């Protein structure tokens, strides 16, 4: 198992110009160590990260879209897997941070915690390529290939909390940052 913040930092080091959709704890962490005007971060819409990323991928087929979803969030919207696979965006990478709990809501265990094979679910729905990664070195090695794959791609990332970062809800809900995202998207 890898620390989520270390996994995200490894991604940030290899990031080019991808649109990144991050929810809940991943969103909080990215705002601290990997700010970017192409970060689409939000909380409060549990389960909607994969759907927001799908809209962005369909709207901007010229840009790679990477979503950092949570297992608790995805459980709230499993139907999105079928919709994403059916739309088959070639520029879509769905990274699932699996920690077996609703971390933001007090770390309550998810139903069937640790027993669901999310990558297998994604493969069954029609994702082109799936991975299951629990080691940071393996993630760092496979990431360049994953980012080049034709999507939709699904990656289960077995994670645990890393360093504690202060929550910054005003930043996540900031109209100013949403406008910067829109402007940057329009320019690129």
**CATH 3.40.630.10 fits domain 2-187:** no
Rounded CA-CA distance 95/67 in Å is 6
CA–CA dist 162, 164 (Å, integer): 6
Residue 74 has pLDDT above 90, yes or no: yes
- Name the pairing type of β-strands 108-109 and 129-133: unpaired
Residue with more model confidence, 45 or 163: 163
Q: What is the pTM of this model?
A: 0.91
pLDDT of residue 107: 62
Average pLDDT of 105-132? 86
What is the CB neighbour count within 10 angstroms for residue 69?
Answer: 27
Tell me the per-residue pLDDT of 121-163, one tens digit each, with 9 for 90 and over.
Answer: 999 999 999 999 999 999 999 999 999 999 999 999 999 887 8
Average pLDDT, the chain: 90
173 has a pLDDT exceeding 80: no
DSSP reduced 3-state for 130: strand
Query: What is the bridge-based pairing of β-strands 39-42 and 108-109?
Result: unpaired
Q: What gap in Å lies between CA 70 and CA 124, rounded to an integer? A: 19
Give pLDDT, residue 102: 59
């Amino acid at each position: 198992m890898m620390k989520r913040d270390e996994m995200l930092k490894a991604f940030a080091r290899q990031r080019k110009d991808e649109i990144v959709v991050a929810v809940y704890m991943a969103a909080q962490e990215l705002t601290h160590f990997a700010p970017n005007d192409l970060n689409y971060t939000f909380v409060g819409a549990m389960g909607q990260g994969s759907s927001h990323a799908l809209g962005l991928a369909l709207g901007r087929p010229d840009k790679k879209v990477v979503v950092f979803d949570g297992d608790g969030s995805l459980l709230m919207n499993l139907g999105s897997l079928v919709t994403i696979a059916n739309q088959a965006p070639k520029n879509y990478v769905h990274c699932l941070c699996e920690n077996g709990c609703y971390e933001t809501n007090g770390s309550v265990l998810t139903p069937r915690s640790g027993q669901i094979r999310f990558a297998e679910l994604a493969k069954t729905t029609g994702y082109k390529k799936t991975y299951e990664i629990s080691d940071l070195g393996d993630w760092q090695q496979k990431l360049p290939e994953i980012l080049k794959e034709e999507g939709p791609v699904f990656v289960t990332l077995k994670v645990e909390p890393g360093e504690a970062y202060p929550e910054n809800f005003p930043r996540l809900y900031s109209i100013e940052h949403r406008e910067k995202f829109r402007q940057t998207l329009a320019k690129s």
